[in-house]
Chains A and B, each alone.
Chain A
Amino acid sequence: MTKKKVFGFTMVAALTATTLVGCSGAAEPQADQGAAKEGEKVKIKYWSTMNPEETQTLEGIVAEFEQKNPNIDVDVQNVPFSDAQNKFKTSAQGGDAPDVLRCEIAWTPEFAALGFLLPIDDKLSAEDKKDFLKAPFNYNVYQGKTYGVPHVTDAPALLYNKRLFKEAGVEVPKTMDEMYAAAKKLTKEGQYGFFVSADSYFSQPFIWAFGGNTITDNKDVKIASADSIKGLEFMLKFKNDKLSQQNFDFANQYNNMMTDFKEGKAAMIINGPWATADILSGKEFKDAANFGIAPVPAGPKGQGSPVGGHNYVISKASKNPNEAYKFIEFLNSTENQVKFAKANKLLPTRQSAYDNADLKADAVLQGFKAQMDVATNRPVIPEGGQMFADFTPNVEAAVKGTKTAEQALKDVEAAWNKLLKK
């Protein structure tokens, strides 16, 4: 073949291809344009936000998937959870988003509102839809369309050191007053009752326990109500009465909380199931039986803990949405949810996973499951993922004492009204 002929041939091929694409229905040009040809290897870029322990489990599952689907190559990229929200927005804006993202539940409505996500209603099977627990699934629905599938659900619980409880002769607290009394008995030289975190995510249980609220689904801001203020004031009491850590280091507080708990300095902390593997590596918890989990105590007007978790979503820019869905379907099968539950204590989102006998016998998992029964849903609004940016600095100021609880929460209210454009 001469060069000219090759050129002509290519041109004809290209023209035919474009016409075919044009014919195949204007509704889904995205899907057809890049659909994989027979025998061609498809690459799926997946952004995972898992911690190192969870990533180990993930690697096994991905290897199995690639073996079963030799035409799909999954490129797993680990993005730190704290950066993922912004990184995804920036890259989606630039048109370079990954095919699949492990997406925090509050980010999902936001990304959907921004038009970055692909609706998957046509891909989701009816039995899967029925199997998913209602509350976690709801975070995937925005304006009547489904944008993802729930992978894990969680709610922080009250974690305690059983040995220290026994030594001090205290029972597991059921109410906030009992928790305060327990903290008092547990505080002595070299140890203290409760780690007060200024991360606003962990302040929410106190606000709900006293009848307060953050933002409702109707976008009503309730954070500066009298009840909310009472809740925050109660949390500050642990610090003011010296029943908490005395050294506050906001930038490092999560790590310090974990270290203090693992070393037996903190008797109680509030944290979620994702921390289990890290906690059990600590010297206090060499014997896993020493690790106690209970629901966050109830206050005078309620009880609650923020429901969190992660979904799997597909980017609208994905060139291979069918393969991408195949991947998340596999990743999120009952069998693999059980794997994550066993290895990393992540709470499944499928009813069928909870029917697994091993999981029924798992004390840690059942402990966190009990918290789910008294957990509180966060607002399912696009702004839900941004609310903590203004919330946390104000809780810090209240903990530090530069603002009163009332002033701090009033400032949060003002910031949220701006966020919600009121």
Chain B
Amino acid sequence: MLQAIKRNKAAYFFVLPAMLIMIVLVFLPLAQGIFYSFTNMDQYNMGNRFVKASYEFIGLQNYIDVFTGSGLTEFLGVLKQTLIWTFTNVFFHATIGLGLALLLNRHIKGRAYYRMLLLIPWAVPSFISAFAWRWMFNGEYGFLNVMLTKMGFAGIPWLSDPFWAMTAVIMTNVWLGFPFMMVTFLGGLQSIPKDLYEAAYVDGASRIQQFFYITLPQLKSTIFTATLLGVIWTFNLFAVIYLITEGGPFNSTEILVTYAYDKAFSAWRLGEATTYGTIILSLLIAFSFFYSKVMKVTEKE
């Protein structure tokens, strides 16, 4: 160990500044957050410039509360919503992104313009899009319902029905998120050697066969990275839900992060909120670990 450090002295020296910044900005707050999850901290005992902190260490009590009784029902409800939210979003991001990437990979006229246009949802700051969508979802005066009623249909209770509210936030986020997948996949597609397709063509493989036997396998590592990132980002995506439904109606669009935020900055039960934060972190670490294991196994096959 020491030998290794000595040998690569210069390398460690170069990494040091970045490492120090990481420790101060990431690892220390993280450790602090995990520590708080073992305390009963709330706004009255957290202390400030004028009042001494008086919160106490309560061991695993917060975790016991989350995993038993009414706390468990609450947690499972939000977890279910989080999973629906995450996987529906990533599924549509990936399929729409892949479809568009395949289209844009062909030599069509004005390809550069299409690519630019399709990037717009991603380029606009997400809170602006979220507000615009919120106006469109207005039950009485919103664009969508006005169009529906003009065409003779009944308006949809977008933001006041649990099912439609979840649909609404997912629609918004799909619109916001597909360009990232599209660009990533497009990059992947362009790195596939052309001669593979030529060889397949000579061997008489159909377009569909080419897609399944060349494109998809070649694109696998790109898909893996992009969807893994997608799952982590979407799982922790705060802005869209917070700005459009605020977690409502009656908490039916709360996901774990927005719920933890409410616990922290609306109820100010910081011990409980950091418990949720620690659980979110553990879930994502576990997910990444298994996901990469599964991908490695299939790669070997």
| A residues whose Cβ falls under 8 Å from a Cβ of B | 86, 89-90, 92-93, 95, 113-116, 245, 247-252, 256, 259-260, 316-317, 382, 386, 389, 393-394, 396-397, 400, 402-403, 419
Within 8 A of A (CB), among B108-148: 134, 137-142, 145
Q: Which residues of B contact A402 (CB under 8 A)?
A: 162, 250
In the complex, the chain B residue whose C-beta lies closest to that of A251 is B159
Asked if B56 is at the interface (CB within 8 A of a chain A CB), the reply is: no
B139: min CB distance to chain A, Å? 3
Task: Determine the chain B residues whose CB is within 8 A of the CB of A92 once the complex forms.
Answer: 48
Q: From known contacts A396-B249, A400-B249, infer whether A249 and B48 are also in contact, taking CB-CB under 8 Å.
A: no
From A93, A389, A393, residue with most partner B Cβ within 10 Å: A393
Nearest Cβ on chain A to B200's Cβ, whole angstroms: 52
A396 touches which of B140, B160, B265 (Cβ 8 Å) = B160
Chain A residues contacting B139 (CB-CB under 8 Å) are 247-249, 252, 256
Stretch at the interface among B88-96, B171-179, B240-248, B286-294: B240-248
Partner of B48, one of A86, A93, A251, A419: A93
Please give 8 more A-B residue pairs, beta carbons under 8 A apart, in addition to A248-B160, A256-B140, A393-B249. Answer: A95-B48, A247-B155, A250-B160, A316-B49, A386-B266, A393-B248, A397-B250, A400-B160
User: B interface vs A, CB < 8 Å?
Assistant: 43-44, 46, 48-51, 134, 137-142, 145, 155, 157-162, 244-246, 248-251, 262, 265-268
Q: Which of B50, B245, B248, B266 has the most CB of A within 10 A?
A: B50
Give the chain A neighbours of B138 by CB distance below 8 A.
249, 252, 256
Given known contacts A113-B44, A245-B140, A256-B141, is B49 in contact with A251 (CB within 8 Å)? no
**Could you tell me the dominant secondary structure of chain B's interface residues?**
loop
Q: Are A115 and B160 in contact (CB under 8 A)?
A: no
Query: Which B residue sits closest to A82, measured CB to CB?
Result: B246
- Whether A249 contacts B157 in the complex (CB less than 8 A), given A114-B44, A402-B250, comes out as yes
CA distance A343 to B159 in the complex (A): 35
Which residues of the partner chain A approach B49 to less than 8 Å between Cβ atoms?
95, 316-317
Contact of A251 with B50 in the complex, beta carbons under 8 Å: no
Closest CB-CB distance, B63 to chain A, in whole Å? 18
Known: A251-B245, A256-B139. A86 touches B265 (CB 8 A): yes
CA distance A50 to B150 in the complex (A): 38
Query: A403: which B residues are within 8 A, CB to CB?
Result: 250
Of all A-B residue pairs in the complex, the 4 with the closest CB atoms, nearest first, are: A249-B139, A393-B250, A115-B51, A251-B159
Q: How far is the CA of A389 from the CA of B262 in the complex (A)?
A: 9
Contacts A92-B48, A316-B50; is A396 near B266 (CB within 8 Å)?
no
Tell me the complex Cα distance, A402–B161, Å: 10
Across the interface, which residues of A come within 8 angstroms of B155, CB to CB?
247
B250 A251 Cβ-Cβ under 8 A: no
Q: How far is the CB of B193 from chain A (nearest CB, A)?
A: 51
Among A90, A249, A316, the most chain B Cβ lie within 10 Å of the Cβ of A249
Assess A386 versus B267: contact at CB under 8 Å? Given A116-B48, A248-B160, A249-B157.
Answer: yes
Residues of A near B140 (CB, < 8 A) are 245, 247, 249, 252, 256, 259-260
Nearest neighbor of B145 in chain A, beta-carbon distance: A247
A126 to nearest B CB, angstroms? Answer: 28
Distance (whole angstroms) from the CB of A89 to the closest CB of chain B = 7
Q: In the docked arrangement, what's the CA distance between A53 and B137, Å?
A: 27
CB-based contact B159/A116 at 8 Å = no
Known pairs A93-B48, A115-B48, A116-B48; A389 contacts B248 (CB<8 A): no
A-B contact pairs, 8 of them (CB 8 A): A93-B46, A114-B51, A249-B157, A250-B159, A252-B138, A256-B140, A393-B250, A419-B267
How far is B138's CA from A256's CA once the two chains are assembled, in angstroms? 9
Residues of B within 8 A of A116 (CB): 48, 50
- Across the interface, name the chain A residue whose C-beta is closest to B70: A414
The answer for the CA separation of A312 and B50 in the assembled complex, in Å, is 20
Instruction: Give the shortest distance, in Å, between B105 (CB) and chain A (any CB).
Output: 40
CA distance A332 to B51 in the complex (A): 30
CA distance A114 to B267 in the complex (A): 14
* Distance in angstroms between the alpha carbons of A249 and B142 in the assembled complex: 10
Contacts of B267 in A (CB 8 A): 386, 389, 419
Look across to chain A and name the residue whose beta carbon is closest to the beta carbon of B243. Answer: A251
Residues on B with C-beta less than 8 A from A394 are 250
Give bound CA distance, A86 to B265, whole Å.
Answer: 7
B262 contacts which chain A residues (CB < 8 A)?
389
Q: Would A249 and B265 count as touching, CB distance under 8 A?
A: no
Residues of chain A within 8 A of B251, CB atoms compared: 393
Whether the pair A114, B244 counts as a contact (CB closer than 8 A) is no
Interchain CA distance A116-B246 in the complex, whole Å: 28
CA distance A402 to B141 in the complex (A): 25
Chain B residues within 8 Å of A245, by CB: 140
- In the assembly, what is the distance between CA of A173 and CA of B164, in Å? 37
A129–B142 alpha-carbon span in the complex (Å): 49
Chain A residue at smallest Cβ distance from B168: A251
Task: Tell me how far the C-beta of A129 lies from the nearest C-beta in chain B, rounded to whole angstroms.
Answer: 25
CA distance A197 to B96 in the complex (A): 39
Chain A nearest CB: distance from B212 CB in Å?
A: 44
Cβ-neighbour of B248 out of A113, A115, A251 (below 8 A) = A251
A248 neighbours in B (Cβ, 8 Å): 139, 157, 160
Are B48 and A114 within 8 A (Cβ)? yes
A245 to B138, CA, bound (A): 14
Chain A neighbourhood of B244, CB < 8 A: 251
Q: Please judge, given known A-B contacts A89-B268, A114-B44, A389-B267, whether A250 and B248 are in contact too, CB under 8 Å.
A: yes
- Provide the residues of chain A in CB contact with B268, threshold 8 Å: 89, 386
- CA–CA, A90 and B250, complex, Å: 26
CA distance A397 to B250 in the complex (A): 6
A316 and B48 alpha carbons, distance in the complex (Å): 11
CA distance A264 to B127 in the complex (A): 33
Q: Given A394-B250, A397-B250, check contact A249 B160 (CB 8 Å).
A: yes
- In angstroms, how far is the closest chain B Cβ from the Cβ of A397? 4
Q: Report whether B157 and A389 are in contact in the complex, using a CB–CB cutoff of 8 Å.
A: no
Inter-chain contact A249/B158, CB cutoff 8 Å? yes
**Residue ID in chain A nearest B246 by CB atoms:** A251
Docked complex Cα distance between A405 and B191 (Å): 61
> Is there an interface contact between A389 and B48, defined as CB atoms closer than 8 Å?
no
**Given A114-B51, A400-B250, is A251 in contact with B134 using a C-beta cutoff of 8 Å?**
yes
Using CB atoms, name the residue of chain A closest to B162.
A402
